[in-house]
Structure 1
Amino acid sequence: MMNNENTMTITLLCENQVGHKGARVCRGEWGFSALLESKDHKILFDTGHSDLYWKNAEALKLDLQSVDIVVFSHYHWDHTDGIVHHHFLNKKSLLIHPDLQEKLSERTKKTVLDDFNIIPSRKTYKITEDIIFLGEIPRKMSFEKGTYKDDPMKDDTALAIKTSRGVVVLTGCSHSGICNICEYAKEVTHSPLHSVIGGFHLMSDDRETVKQTISYFKKEAPQSLYPMHCVDFPVLAAFHKEFGVIKAATGDQICF
């Protein structure tokens, strides 16, 4: 539900943990899903891997039937397999990078093909004037691999939301590199970085990448950072030490 003083709300429908706001009614599991509500548009961003995102939305009294479009950040099971548990009464559009469809599990692929109008886009795609699907992310940061294991992860993308104070980035897992994503979001929107929300895919055993990423955010100085999901505890602790980050989780709402 929207706060009238805000123009945008992001509600976490699925994350590894449950936040204080959702503690009595929500459950958490490994995965990610978020509902983005602007003044005139609702976007379901990722669906976790089970029906939990839908159940949590119901518990929070959020109406997913009124979603305008579904967006996948990348193909991994913990961000897409939950789509098979949807209860949409009307056929929704599904916005994806074109490489994603063939990489889905067979069950998820069948649901996607049967139940959704697929919009494939390798380039940026304007969902609204202020909400942009970034498509394929240029890999420019030398310290970020921009891959996952042996997969180049060209399908890994994010949303860029233009606000009066700068761009808000909503990302799923950032396999393409969280700094690469932020740089492209700035370029596409011609805006400074205001906030970054989602999985940053940073683990403490990759010390140099963590160090360089923290340096990047110190330089960019966004107003807020919300690393979660695929970020381990030592890295979260480092972000708390450097930026005062308080981790958000299932049931939490972030308002702008």
Structure 2
Amino acid sequence: METKITILCENETSKRAARFCRSEWGFSAFVETEQVKILFDTGHTDLYKHNANALGIDLNRSDFVVLSHHHWDHTSGMLSHEFKEKKKLILHPHILEKVSADKADLFNRDFEIIASEKSLEFAPGVFYLGEIPRRTSFEKGEHKGNPMLDDSAIAITTAKGAIVLTGCSHAGICNICEHAKEVTGQELYAVVGGFHLNKKNEALVRKTIEYFKMQNVEHLYPMHCVDFPTLVHFYNEFGTIKYAAGDVITL
């Protein structure tokens, strides 16, 4: 089963899409499997819609919308949605408490909300991971003092292992991956999205790289909230290439 992930919003625009896509600080991706189509996060403006149109993607074909966490650069694009029917919106219940009142009202009015703290298989082989257990000793699993219990991700099972798609990984990218392995019953095949790593915490970067080496992950795609020096570390260790708005990852 082929999985296609199109990056609709990212901090940069890819070279292949530079003439017709734009970028902004934030993240959004459109996920397609044989069974389901998912809009994962929406950036912070209507840019994800502009890029979807430029790439020939009809967002009304989405079966689900999934939000990784409550931050503005992943949820504010929802305010400009143009869905013609109520879509199923999967999120952690804390998101409804943490977003602005206008967003919460829109979510409740325009969507069929599926709020879950627990992991949820919402399509065959496709899981919302729910609340992420903090297991590693080196990841704080918080953001500026906020425990970020609403920070989650999705995982997709394949014949080669689990694909993990993250928004910002405030829960800790390794914590997320360990939970994904437990939920899916598979080893890691690919990890895509924001890893939330930067030069300010080189010890965390080093331990994360050590973790991925031990996991022997075939495909790593760090982006969005990963700074340039850290991307260089990942390139030197794994040969990773930075993907951006307009890029398509086929697994």
Q: Smaller-chain TM-score range? A: over 0.9
- Deviation of 1:158 after TM superposition, in Å, equals 0.3
Give the Cα separation in 2 of the matches to 1:191 and 1:177: 19
Cα deviation code 1:58-100 (max 9, x no counterpart): 0101010110010000000000010011110111111001111
- Deviation of 1:15 after TM superposition, in Å, equals 0.2
Counterparts of 1:80-229 in structure 2 under 5 Å?
A: 80-229=75-224
- Deviation of 1:113 after TM superposition, in Å, equals 1.6
CA contact (8 A) 2:64 2:89 kept: yes
> Which TM-score applies when normalising by structure 1?
0.97
SS in 2 for 1:169: strand
Give the Cα separation in 1 of the matches to 2:86 and 2:16: 31
- Deviation of 1:110 after TM superposition, in Å, equals 2.0
SS in 2 for 1:146: coil
CA contact (8 A) 1:81 1:105 kept: no
- Deviation of 1:7 after TM superposition, in Å, equals 1.6
SS in 2 for 1:99: helix
The aligned counterpart of 2:27 is: 32
The one of 41, 59, 67 aligned to 1:46: 41
The aligned counterpart of 1:3 is: none
Give the Cα separation in 1 of the matches to 2:229 and 2:62: 36
Question: RMSD across aligned C-alpha pairs, in angstroms?
Answer: 0.8
One-letter code of the match for 2:31?
Answer: L
SS in 2 for 1:230: coil
- Deviation of 1:189 after TM superposition, in Å, equals 1.0
One-letter code of the match for 1:156?
Answer: D
SS in 2 for 1:241: helix
SS in 2 for 1:210: helix
- Deviation of 1:126 after TM superposition, in Å, equals 0.8
One-letter code of the match for 2:190?
Answer: S
SS in 2 for 1:30: coil
- Deviation of 1:252 after TM superposition, in Å, equals 0.3
Give the Cα separation in 2 of the matches to 1:21 and 1:9: 17
Cα deviation code 1:194-248 (max 9, x no counterpart): 0000000001110111110000011111111000000000000000000000000
CA contact (8 A) 1:49 1:82 kept: yes
- Deviation of 1:128 after TM superposition, in Å, equals 1.1
Which stretch of structure 1 is more off in the superposition, 109-118 or 94-103?
109-118
CA contact (8 A) 1:17 1:249 kept: yes
Percent identity, aligned pairs only, is 54
Length, aligned pairs only:
251
- Kindly report structure 1 stretches of 4+ aligned residues shifted beyond 2 Å: none
SS in 2 for 1:213: helix
- Deviation of 1:187 after TM superposition, in Å, equals 0.9
Counterparts of 1:2-41 in structure 2 under 5 Å?
A: 7-41=2-36
Give the Cα separation in 1 of the matches to 2:233 and 2:100: 35
- Deviation of 1:107 after TM superposition, in Å, equals 2.4
One-letter code of the match for 1:193?
Answer: L
- Deviation of 1:18 after TM superposition, in Å, equals 0.6
Cα deviation code 1:111-150 (max 9, x no counterpart): 1121111110000111112100000000000000000011
Give the Cα separation in 2 of the matches to 1:69 and 1:155: 18
Cα deviation code 1:169-206 (max 9, x no counterpart): 00000000000000010111111110000000001110
The aligned counterpart of 2:238 is: 243
One-letter code of the match for 1:82?
Answer: G
CA contact (8 A) 1:77 1:105 kept: no
One-letter code of the match for 2:92?
Answer: H
Give the Cα separation in 2 of the matches to 1:105 and 1:195: 33
One-letter code of the match for 1:206?
Answer: N
